[in-house]
Chains A and B, each alone.
Chain A
Amino acid sequence: MRELTYNEAALEAIAEEMRRDPRVFYMSTDALPPLMNEFGPSRIKVTPIAEAAMTGMGIGAAGSGFRPIVDWRQVTFCFVAMDQIVNQAAKIHYMFGGQVTFPMLFRASVGGGGQVAAQHSQSPYSMFMNVAGLKMFLPSTPYDMKGLIKTAIRDNNPVISFESGRLMGRKGPVPEEDYCIPFGVADVKRSGDDVTVVALAWLVHEALAAAEELAKEGISVEVVDPRTLVPLDTATIRASVRKTGRLVIADEAGPTCGFSAEVAAVVTEDAATFASLKAPVKRVCALPVPIPYSPVLESAVFPDRGRIIAGIREVVAS
């Protein structure tokens, strides 16, 4: 099968959906050349650096019958639009009694590893998971990216596409045909029997590398990629843990009230899954600090395959 990068898969999905539906248009502070070349300024709106305005304008255009894509570029920049995201976009459908729909796609790159320090190395998805009314996903492969973006553009709600900065240039097979990946369906990226690793984005690949290494020692690792954060596929996560009896959660974000905490709760508050646990749940997350610049400090903060391996050994030993 043909291969695309993670970033190219996103652009292909967007271009296909823009061809399919004339109500879809794009707002961003810089034009993305392939989209501008094909669709021109009537549908690719280059905005001033005014994320609050462009996010709110997305809401108003969505409520007026359009299907806007608002590209925040880095998630960092959306914090100046928090009123529009949290007070407005997330609540407007519910607060007005479901009168009309607000189909919107927000795009934001997340994660670290680029030595760009604290403001440009963030993974704040759990802040948004905490807000009722937003759907969101974080793909790990070009294949998942294309299918999830297409689902998001056809969804009638505000959806955030969190996109891993570390994976932008990573290639993988992507079908040329039209396909959608439903929200709330996790993907078991590797099947195993001894321990479940629930991982996101770049750490899915690190977990797969860890699984490969541990297989040599006879430890069988199952890697579950939730893909969508809201809605979260709790059934697949619980089923995997009931099978293996052990759980490691790998997340590039910090642990506090994070995605990893949510997964731990999902597993432990279900009686049958809780009863199947043979070891305490282990979280492998970033340290709870702003992300530092120097490569020595930065790699000390982030989890990687080595820490995932250490986490797996810990739960397998107990």
Chain B
Amino acid sequence: MPMSLSPNLPPDQQREMLRQMLAIRRFEERASADYQTGKIYGVVHCYIGEEAVAVGVCTALDRGDRIISTHRGHGHCIAKGADLNRMMAELYGRQTGYCKGKGGSMHIADFGIGMLGANGIVAGGISIITGAGLAAQMEGKGGVAVSFFGDGASNAGPFHECLNIAATWKLPMLYVCENNLYAAQTSAAATHALPDVAARAAGYGIPGVVVDGNDIFAVHQAASRAVDRARSGDGPTLIECKTYRQRAHTERKGQPDPRDKAEVEAWQQRDPIALLERQLREQGDLDDVGLRTIERDVMEALEAAVAFAEASPFPLPEQATDDVFAA
């Protein structure tokens, strides 16, 4: 399947999309490696293979717009402009991390850039970001709010409650379902009455769009249309991005992964970064030198983030009781 063309995006912006996708990919490859060696604790969920969704959608947003993420949240953070140093320091459990070492991989937020947080509860973010959509509507400054969630969350109650309210109140929202076909180890086919989550939009009287989630231009075009609709007061859109998680549910060794090998390989053949790279080369907007420059920039930023995290102090034990309540 060929990629969509995106005549409206200047080449610089297209290369920036590639850079952000690579930044997510390399960040997570490093996070996984450091997790295996015990420098990162708890659990790490990688977004590898789904980068076109976060970057495609966030490229259609302004800095003042707000998003919320899932347990698989590194990609959304980076696409919204989060600081890699503070992200990596958080994974390392350090004082300088986004959450002062209190959140870890599943709970990175940066309210300053409108990133309202990764969330460890499936469907936990949908209602929170719908409240941010209500806030944007009350502010009246044209802001929009984006809920990223997975196919698993689409079967939980808050999905229905929030889409109904957002549609009824015409909230400036994008509901972006990253359908990677599996909720942990359970296939969407076994848990969804219909194959397309987007079909449910009809029940709320809002547009429901299915896009190839590995085609960043298709994602970006759908998101741009939905953002225009939201900003002009016409209400929410449900966008379903069909995509695939190339790795297991988490980076923990020895997990069951019941997915068919051929299925995994077929999706790897449609890797969203490789697709964009090929498209940019065909357009004449990227050559070997250009790609090497992007890769070098990404790796320099990543190494700097790791060095920052390594050099950062751990929190003090007595800081465990800080921030239970705000002043």
Residues of A within 8 A of B165 (CB): 47-48, 50, 53-54, 57
User: What 0/1 pattern do residues 14 to 52 of A give for CB contact below 8 A with B?
Assistant: 000000000001000000000000000010010110101
| Least CB separation from B120: chain A residue | A87
A61 engages B325 (CB within 8 Å):
no
Please tell me if A98 contacts chain B, counting CB pairs below 8 Å: yes
Q: Does A92 contact B (CB under 8 A)?
A: yes
B323 within 8 A of A: yes
* Beta-carbon contact of A59 and B326 below 8 Å: no
User: Are B66 and A64 in contact (CB-based, < 8 A)?
Assistant: yes
A52:B111 contact, CB within 8 angstroms: no
Chain A residues with CB under 8 Å of B97's CB are 97
CA distance A88 to B116 in the complex (A): 12
Task: Please determine whether B131 and A56 come into contact, CB atoms closer than 8 angstroms.
Answer: yes
With a cutoff of 8 Å between Cβ atoms, the chain B residues found around residue A100 in the complex are 111
When each residue 262-273 of chain B gets 1 if its CB lies under 8 Å from chain A and 0 otherwise, what string results?
000000000000
Kindly list chain B residues whose C-beta atoms are within 8 Å of the C-beta of A79. none
Interface pair B132/A63, CB less than 8 Å apart: yes
**Binary B-proximity of A76-103 (CB < 8 A = 1, otherwise 0):** 0000100110011000111111111110
Interface check A132, CB cutoff 8 A: yes
How many A residues face the partner with a CB closer than 8 A?
43
Q: Which of A59, A65, A66, A98 contacts B127 (CB 8 A)?
A: A59
Assuming A60-B116, A96-B98, A133-B325, is B109 touching A48 (CB within 8 A)? no
**Residues of B contacting A95 in the complex (Cβ-Cβ under 8 angstroms):** 99, 102-103, 107, 117
Distance in Å from the Cβ of B120 to the closest Cβ of chain A? Answer: 8
A97, B134: Cβ atoms under 8 Å?
no
Q: Which B residues lie within 8 Å of A98 (CB)? A: 100, 322-323, 326
Q: Is the CB of B327 within 8 A of A64?
A: no
Given A83-B121, A92-B117, A97-B102, are A56 and B128 also a contact pair (CB < 8 Å)? Answer: yes
Q: Is A273 an interface residue (CB 8 A)?
A: no
From 58 to 101 in chain B, residues with beta carbon under 8 angstroms from any chain A beta carbon are 66, 68, 97-101
A56 touches B127 (CB 8 A): yes
A53-B127, A59-B127, A88-B121 known; A66 vs B135 contact (CB < 8 Å): yes
Q: Nearest Cβ distance between residue B309 and chain A, in whole angstroms?
A: 15
B129 touches A52 (CB 8 A): no
Known A61-B134, A64-B132: A93·B323 in contact at CB below 8 Å: yes
Q: Which residues of B contact A (CB under 8 A)?
A: 66, 68, 97-103, 107, 109-112, 116-117, 119-121, 124, 126-136, 138-139, 145, 157-158, 161-162, 164-165, 168, 322-327
Binding site for B on A (CB under 8 A): 25, 42, 45, 47-48, 50, 52-66, 68, 80, 83-84, 87-88, 92-102, 132-133, 135, 156-157
A-B contact pairs, 23 of them (CB 8 A): A50-B165, A52-B161, A56-B128, A57-B130, A57-B162, A57-B165, A59-B127, A59-B128, A59-B131, A60-B131, A60-B132, A60-B133, A61-B131, A61-B134, A63-B131, A64-B66, A66-B138, A83-B124, A84-B124, A88-B119, A95-B99, A96-B99, A99-B112
